[in-house]
């Protein structure tokens, strides 16, 4: 699948904003409670895509935005309330049809590798991926190792497994967490083969330089970029940190 609609010279920066489902308003500090603020950052920051759940897309991603910023629609989700003390399961809440109607260029789906409910998520992903590709949509797999069978969800071994799973399942882009080292991430990128790898940002770091160092590491490891949320829109100056991230991604 050609991913050029979601990349610039093969590299990418996406603005993730599905936290209203995953974490709730507690994450949406200051102006970030308003989706207009996020769209503004995405457009002004020259992002390659913005990630929304369908409700936000229906009410805020108006037709005029289609020309300004590509939409990646998240098709499944789970809340932090349900997730507490339970095994990880993210159910599909939006169809590929609806994604097309809303003007999405790509669709995203979370798989919890190692969860008791992994089989359901793999099956659902499989169906979704076939349909999305038939409709010409780019498929992004958020692959997070989590659940009763996962001892260390951020080990290099399981991170490489997450990246490989994305390739094997037909994803065009794998969105995975950092595993702590450039060498470990390199193995993940290698394991993903022709599926491209982006970093899944993570919680906002106290010192922005810590996040930028992770960016340097994953780019050196061969990732194509990042899907970042909190480190940008929780920042006091989202466009300034955006520029610094972009400089690392496109410096070559
Ligand atoms: P961040 O950059 O803020 O971490 O966003 C990336 C993301 O994958 C979001 O798409 C998603 O809502 C969130 O992180 C999931 O976080 P968690 O690790 O708590 O499941």
As a whole number of angstroms, the distance between CA 37 and CA 243 comes to 17
pLDDT at site 79: 95
As a whole number of angstroms, the distance between CA 42 and CA 50 comes to 7
> Closest by alpha carbon to 140, among 120, 119, 123, 163?
163
Nearest CA to ligand 1 atom 18: 202
Nearest CA to ligand 1 atom 7: 200
Helices (H), 138-228: 156-168, 182-192, 208-220
Q: Which CATH number is 215's domain given?
A: 3.20.20.70
**What would the pLDDT profile of 138-159 be if each residue is shown by its tens digit?**
999 999 999 999 999 999 999 9
**What would the pLDDT profile of 11-39 be if each residue is shown by its tens digit?**
999 999 999 999 999 999 999 999 999 99
Sign of dihedral through CA atoms 230, 233, 234, 235?
positive
For residue 152, give both structure tokens: 């260390």
Give the number of the atom of ligand 1 that is nearest the alpha carbon of residue 146. Answer: 20
Does the pLDDT of residue 120 top 60, yes or no? yes
> Closest by alpha carbon to 173, among 192, 197, 149?
197
Mean pLDDT of all residues in 85-113 = 97
Does the pLDDT of residue 84 top 90, yes or no? no
Q: Distance, CA 140 to ligand 1 centroid (Å)?
A: 14
As a whole number of angstroms, the distance between CA 120 and CA 139 comes to 18
pLDDT at site 180: 97
As a whole number of angstroms, the distance between CA 215 and CA 235 comes to 16
Band of pLDDT at residue 252, cut at 50, 70 and 90: low
Q: Which residues line ligand 1 (CB under 6 A)?
A: 16, 18-19, 22, 51, 142, 200-202, 227-231
> Closest by alpha carbon to 12, among 250, 252, 251?
250
Q: Distance, CA 207 to ligand 1 centroid (Å)?
A: 18
Q: How many domains does the chain contain in total?
A: 1
As a whole number of angstroms, the distance between CA 83 and CA 90 comes to 9
Give the number of the atom of ligand 1 that is nearest the alpha carbon of residue 203. Answer: 4
Q: Distance, CA 182 to ligand 1 centroid (Å)?
A: 21
Q: Which domain holds residue 227?
A: 4-251
pLDDT at site 6: 98
The share of the chain scoring above pLDDT 90, in percent, equals 97
Q: Distance, CA 85 to ligand 1 centroid (Å)?
A: 19
Does the pLDDT of residue 60 top 90, yes or no? yes
Strand pairing partners for 16?
51
Mean pLDDT of all residues in 71-100 = 95
Mean pLDDT of all residues in 95-111 = 98
Please give the positions annotated as active site.
144, 175
Give the number of the atom of ligand 1 that is nearest the alpha carbon of residue 80. Answer: 19
As a whole number of angstroms, the distance between CA 46 and CA 13 comes to 9
Mean pLDDT of all residues in 51-73 = 98
With both helix axes pointing from N to C terminus, report the angle between 238-250 and 35-44 in degrees, rounded to the nearest 10: 40
The region, left, alpha or beta by phi > 0 then psi within -120 to 50, assigned to residue 222 is left
């Amino acid at each position: 699948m050609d991913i050029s609609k979601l990349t610039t010279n093969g590299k990418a920066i996406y603005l993730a904003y599905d936290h209203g489902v995953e974490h709730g308003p507690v994450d949406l500090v200051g102006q970030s409670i308003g989706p207009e603020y996020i769209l503004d950052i995405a457009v002004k920051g020259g992002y390659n895509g913005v990630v929304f759940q369908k409700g936000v897309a229906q009410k805020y991603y108006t037709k005029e935005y289609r020309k300004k910023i590509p939409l990646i629609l998240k098709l499944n989700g789970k809340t932090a309330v349900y997730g507490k003390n339970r095994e990880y399961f993210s159910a599909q809440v939006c169809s590929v049809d609806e994604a097309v109607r809303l003007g999405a260029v790509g669709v995203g789906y979370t798989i919890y590798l190692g969860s008791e409910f992994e089989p359901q998520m793999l099956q659902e992903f499989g169906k979704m991926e076939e349909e999305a590709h038939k409709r010409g949509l780019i498929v992004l797999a958020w692959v997070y190792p989590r659940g009763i069978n996962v001892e260390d969800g951020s080990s290099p071994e399981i991170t490489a497994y997450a990246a490989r799973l994305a390739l094997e399942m037909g994803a065009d882009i794998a969105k995975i967490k950092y595993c702590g080292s450039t060498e470990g991430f390199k193995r993940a990128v290698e394991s993903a083969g022709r599926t491209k790898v982006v970093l899944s940002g993570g919680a906002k770091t106290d010192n922005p330089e810590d996040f930028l160092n992770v960016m340097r590491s994953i780019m050196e490891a061969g990732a194509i970029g990042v899907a970042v949320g909190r480190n940008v829109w929780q920042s006091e100056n989202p466009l300034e940190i955006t520029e610094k991230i972009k400089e690392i991604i496109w410096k070559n």
